[in-house]
Each structure stands twice: as structure tokens, then as C-alpha cells.
Chains A and B, each alone.
Chain A
Amino acid sequence: MNMKELKFKQKSRLWEFLGEKFIAVNAFVALIAIILIFIFIFKEAVPIFTDPEIREEVTLGKMVFKQEFYEGRDAKWSWQPNSEVPKYSLFALFIGTLKAAIIAMLFAIPLGIGAAIYSSEFAGKRMREIIKPVIELLAGIPSVVLGFFALIVLATFLQNLFGLTFRLNALNAGIALGIAIIPIIFTVAEDAMTSVPRSLREAATALGANQWQVSLTVVLPAALPGLSAGVVLGFGRAIGETMIVLLASGNAAIISANFVDSVRTFSATIAAELAEVVFGSGHYSVLFFIGSLLFVFTFIINFSGDMLLTRIKSRFQGKMN
């Protein structure tokens, strides 16, 4: 054999070093992005608290409390940023956002959790192979398409069904929103239930519980943090979702408990008004203030969702198998 001497090239430390730094820089993008989002959204909202000119027009108090806009008239909450006396009551938008989200949750929780229970506890292999793609397809529908569907088809259907005066309302938007969040609730809840250790199911079975008793008395309670996480994350999405409510809700800021009145949500307000607003005006700041609220709110929601999921993981990890 030819015993040729091998000469290995000295490796460049520099390249290793630069390579690591380059990769590390990329890894920080997500972290930096979240910080920048926070800064740049809040930055534009700050003038509400600092700029005297803007404070003439809008303050935190004006956004929260009832205002007497015209002398001698009753104080009220009202969102009319473009009227002669600009009215910036966020309360009206808050009610709208909440109404749409509540309807969405009422619609999506039973369906999402119900289907998750069926898929995890009762479905055979074949049925599960139908449910999973159905949920993935539903999750893949762009929200503008769901909004379009609610605007053209669902609104007419609901109007005829309930004899409604207005086609576009909280109910219509809420159901469409509900359809959008079913996949989130389903996925998180199903994951939680299938992660309940087999040994717990066996323990219950060995005590004479039959299949549905095992599901209801052991699996569901054990997976409860996961189910809650699904609901919480779904709620976060319902609050932040834009195109569906923009298309389907009617966008009138009406304060009422009536679920078939039109509503205007935080997100839809930004989407509808930002394009026409004067850069740096009071209205502009208010829209960014709303954006800040949405950001903070969803941040809290996601954080609590994560905490719940961590809890269910640590509950079963290492404890048993």
C-alpha cells in the first residue's frame, strides 16, 4: 500500500468564530423583533401622554370614561374620530371586541374541545385520519377568505334564519371568528389529552372504569391545563384577528348587549382607519395606542397559555410513563 503522508490543512479559527457569530446574530432576530415591535408601537402612542397639542384632543381619560361632547347633552361613550368634535372612546370598541370574541368562543369551544375529545378518546384510526386533515384544511383557510365567506354567504343565511335587520353584526363576525379559532383550540386540547400517560388510563381501567369513565374522570381532569391553554390561545387569536371582523361585523361602534347589533373591534378599527389618518396626529397616536393594547394583551395571553402548557408537561414528565 502506498503510505502517502497526509497533510491536513490547518483549520481556520477565524471562520469558525465568524460563523458562530453570524448564526448567533440570526438567532437574536426573533428576540430583537419582539422588542422592536414593542418599542415602535408604543413610541407612536406616547404623544397621547406627552404632547400638549394632542392632549387637547385626546387623553387616556377621554378614551376610557364617558364624555360630555356637547354642552347640555348626556355624557356618553362614542367612537367618531373624524367628526367635528373627535370622539375617541375606546370603551365602545372594547365592547365590540369583547362581543365578537365571546360569540366566537361560545361557538368554537364546544366544537373544538368536543372534536378533540372525540379524536383523542373515541375515534378509531380511520376516523382520526379524517379529522386531522379536516382541521389542517380549516386552519389553512386564509382569514380574508373566511371574512369573505361570512360577508357574502353566512350573513345572508343568518339574516334569513333569524329575521335580522342588519346583515353584518356581532353574531356573523363571531361565528366566522369561531371557525377560525376551532383549529387552535382543537390542536392544543387534543395534544394535551393524548399526552396524558397511558399508565393513568390503565389504572382507571383496572379499577373497573369503562372507556368513557376513564376519559371523563381521569383524562379530562388531567388534561385540564392543556384544554385551558387551548381556550386561552383561541381567545387571544379572536381578539387580534382582523380581516374577518373587518369584513363581517358591520364596523359600527354600537354599545349594546344585543348580539345582533353591529360591532367595531380594536383590530378592525386600525385596519379601517390607519390608511386615511394624518401621520403624527392625535388619531394616528390613538390607533397605535390600540395596537399597543392588542400587543400587550396577546403577549399576556400567550404567556399564560405557555405557562399552562408547561404545567401539563411538567405534571407528567418524569413522574411516570
Chain B
Amino acid sequence: MQAYNNSADEIIKKSSIDETDKEMYRSAYKMTIENLDFWYGNNKVLHDVSLNIEENKVTALIGPSGCGKSTFLRTLNRMNDTIPGTRINGIIKLDDINIYTGIKDVSQIRTRVGMVFQKSNPFPKSIYDNVAYGLKVNGIKDKNLIAELVEESLIQAALWDEVKDNLDHSAYMLSGGQQQRLCIARALAIRPEVILMDEPASALDPISTSKIEDLIGILKKKYTIIIVTHNMQQAARVSDYTAFFFQGDLVEFGATKEIFTRPQKKKTEDYITGRFG
């Protein structure tokens, strides 16, 4: 923000650039995926997937296990880069930046597209340090700012009241559901725009699951959320849009209501009615 604190002249200049940026580059969608192919070694696991992700909505990715939905999710913040022998073809844009070719440092994309994993994976550090981690590695040194953001994120993740007196306790002292909300708070702390969730409630009990689902409903006001789930009820409850993957193909994509009530494709219908999966 400091850069904006200069002369009035500069502010105008800056903001005008920003305006033109928005005009020129920003499409209607938060993320656009065009003709995406993906390989593990010689094994092609995604075929020509194209999809648009709308801002401040929840998009659910469903399909039987091994259908490529998790792989697809992990291409959106370039997590698959960390797996040797993977290859990608196609275009993924965040606003109008191509996340594979348009940036210098891959971590820039990961600070804008956060991720929550299937199993809660807090660091063996204190609750506070877990949430502060992303800020610290991205060069934020201001202690007060960090404290502020830690609190803000824990509040957003609906965990603050439970942990505010024990911020210096090890994250491993928390229950499974709390750990997962801690991981959500950790992802929120760096103020991402998009949050990827990879079956975030699959390892949790029903009560913790419903807390997470409530949380998703609240978070979408501020963030764009993409969630992988194998639980169709969950997809129906939390999402605005649903994409159905099967054997590496995007079979059908549309408003969740449509998909679950009037699926266009036979495959989709079979899946959501439980004929296979």
C-alpha cells in the first residue's frame, strides 16, 4: 500500500493504470482453463479440459476416484510442479495472467491461489506460527501486521474463540476438525483470492464436516472457492457450480442445481444417482 502514498499525481497515474488493467485484461471469470492436457510420465490423465471459474462462487469438482479431479485442482496453483515427470499443455489464467508462463516465480501464484488439503497437515509448530507461516516466508516482517492477520484469519476460519488463549500451543494438540480449520486459517492468512480445497472434510466426523461446510458458505463472500469432493450431497449443499469428471474428461459443467436435477449427459446422471462411483 505504501507505493500509493506518494503524490496525488502518482496516485492518479497508478489508479489509471489499474483501471486500464482491469479494462484490458480482466475477463468476467476469476480463472479460465483452456484445453488443458496433463500427463504423469507417459500417462495422460487430463484430456482437453476447458472450464471457467466464476468469482465469489463455489465450484465443486466431482467424479469417481482416479477421474483426474484432484490432479486438475492441483494444476490451478501449480502444485503438480513439485512432482517429477509431470507435463502440462494448455492455458490456465488467473484474471488475465497465464499462471504457467506469465510469472517469474511460481510462489506468486500460490500466494494468490491458496490450498487446503485432504488430510489436515499443520506444521509441528504452534498454532500462531502455523497461521503466520505463509506471511513470514513471503517476507512480511511487521509483527503487528502479522498478529492482526493471524487473528483475522482465525476468526474467518471460525477457530478464534476456541484457540485464542492457546495460540502458543502445538497445533497437534487440536482435534482433527480444529486442525483442518487451522489449515484453512493458514491458507487465508496470506489473503489469497482463490482457495482450492481437496476433499477438505473427507477425514472428519459429521459435526466437523458441517462446520467446514458452513465455513465455505461464509468464505465465498470474499473468496473464490474450488472444492474437490467425492460426497455428492456435499457438492449439492455447498457449491454454485459443479464439474463432473470421468476418466480424465470434463463430462459436464454447469450450475449445481441444473447438474443435480437435469443432467444433460447419461454418464453424469448415472454417477449422481449412484449407479457407479
Interface residues of A (CB under 8 A from B): 197, 199-210, 213, 217-218, 221-222, 315, 319-321
- Chain B contacts for A200, CB-based, 8 A: 121, 123-124
Extra inter-chain contacts (13) besides given A206-B114, A218-B123, CB under 8 Å: A203-B183, A204-B137, A205-B82, A207-B133, A207-B138, A207-B186, A208-B110, A208-B111, A208-B134, A208-B138, A221-B124, A221-B125, A320-B121
Chain B's closest residue to A205 (CB) is: B82
Contact A207 B134 (CB under 8 A): yes
The answer to whether the Cβ of B146 comes within 8 Å of any Cβ in the partner chain is no
Contact A203 B110 (CB under 8 A): no
Given contacts A206-B77, A207-B190, contact A321 B119 (CB under 8 A): yes
The answer to whether the Cβ of B9 comes within 8 Å of any Cβ in the partner chain is no
CA distance A204 to B190 in the complex (A): 12
Task: Find A217's partner among B105, B110, B137 (CB 8 Å cutoff).
Answer: B137
CA distance A115 to B155 in the complex (A): 43
Contact B124 A206 (CB under 8 A): no
CA distance A204 to B186 in the complex (A): 10
CA distance A166 to B48 in the complex (A): 75
Counting contact residues on chain B (CB < 8 A from A), the size range is 20 to 34
- Chain B contacts for A319, CB-based, 8 A: 172
Contact A204 B107 (CB under 8 A): no
Interface members, chain B 39-94 (any A CB < 8 Å): 77, 79, 82
CA distance A37 to B120 in the complex (A): 48
B137 CB to closest chain A CB (Å) equals 4
- Chain A contacts for B77, CB-based, 8 A: 206
B221 CB to closest chain A CB (Å) equals 22
Contact A209 B79 (CB under 8 A): no
CA distance A204 to B106 in the complex (A): 13
Contact A202 B124 (CB under 8 A): no
28 contacts between A and B (CB under 8 A): A199-B117, A199-B121, A201-B82, A202-B82, A202-B117, A203-B122, A203-B123, A203-B186, A204-B137, A205-B82, A206-B114, A206-B115, A206-B117, A206-B187, A207-B110, A207-B111, A207-B138, A207-B190, A208-B110, A208-B137, A209-B137, A210-B105, A210-B107, A217-B136, A222-B124, A315-B124, A320-B119, A321-B119
Task: Find B119's partner among A199, A209, A213, A221 (CB 8 Å cutoff).
Answer: A199
The answer to whether the Cβ of B202 comes within 8 Å of any Cβ in the partner chain is no
CA distance A197 to B136 in the complex (A): 21
CA distance A87 to B133 in the complex (A): 59
- Chain A contacts for B183, CB-based, 8 A: 203
Contact B123 A204 (CB under 8 A): yes
Chain A's closest residue to B203 (CB) is: A320
CA distance A197 to B183 in the complex (A): 16
Interface members, chain B 129-154 (any A CB < 8 Å): 133-134, 136-138
CA distance A208 to B82 in the complex (A): 13
Contact B133 A205 (CB under 8 A): no
A171 CB to closest chain B CB (Å) equals 38
A228 CB to closest chain B CB (Å) equals 14
The answer to whether the Cβ of B234 comes within 8 Å of any Cβ in the partner chain is no
- Chain B contacts for A321, CB-based, 8 A: 119
- Chain B contacts for A202, CB-based, 8 A: 79, 82, 117, 121
CA distance A209 to B119 in the complex (A): 20
Contact A206 B123 (CB under 8 A): no
Contact B137 A207 (CB under 8 A): yes
- Chain B contacts for A222, CB-based, 8 A: 123-124
CA distance A320 to B111 in the complex (A): 24
- Chain A contacts for B111, CB-based, 8 A: 207-208
- Chain A contacts for B115, CB-based, 8 A: 206
CA distance A319 to B111 in the complex (A): 26
Contact B137 A213 (CB under 8 A): yes
The answer to whether the Cβ of B231 comes within 8 Å of any Cβ in the partner chain is no
Given contacts A208-B134, A208-B190, A217-B137, contact A203 B107 (CB under 8 A): no
Chain B's closest residue to A201 (CB) is: B82
Contact A205 B79 (CB under 8 A): yes
The answer to whether the Cβ of B175 comes within 8 Å of any Cβ in the partner chain is no
CA distance A208 to B190 in the complex (A): 9
The answer to whether the Cβ of B108 comes within 8 Å of any Cβ in the partner chain is yes
CA distance A46 to B68 in the complex (A): 72
CA distance A209 to B105 in the complex (A): 11
Given contacts A203-B183, A206-B114, contact A320 B120 (CB under 8 A): yes
A127 CB to closest chain B CB (Å) equals 14
B185 CB to closest chain A CB (Å) equals 12
Binary CB contact string for chain B from 164 to 208 against chain A (1 if under 8 A, 0 otherwise): 000000001000000000010011001000000000000000000
- Chain B contacts for A207, CB-based, 8 A: 110-111, 114, 133-134, 137-138, 186-187, 190
CA distance A134 to B145 in the complex (A): 48
CA distance A201 to B82 in the complex (A): 10
Contact B82 A204 (CB under 8 A): no
- Chain B contacts for A197, CB-based, 8 A: 121
Contact A206 B79 (CB under 8 A): yes
Contact A204 B133 (CB under 8 A): yes
B130 CB to closest chain A CB (Å) equals 9
Task: Find A206's partner among B108, B110, B119, B122 (CB 8 Å cutoff).
Answer: B110
- Chain A contacts for B125, CB-based, 8 A: 221
CA distance A240 to B77 in the complex (A): 52
CA distance A201 to B186 in the complex (A): 14
CA distance A213 to B134 in the complex (A): 11
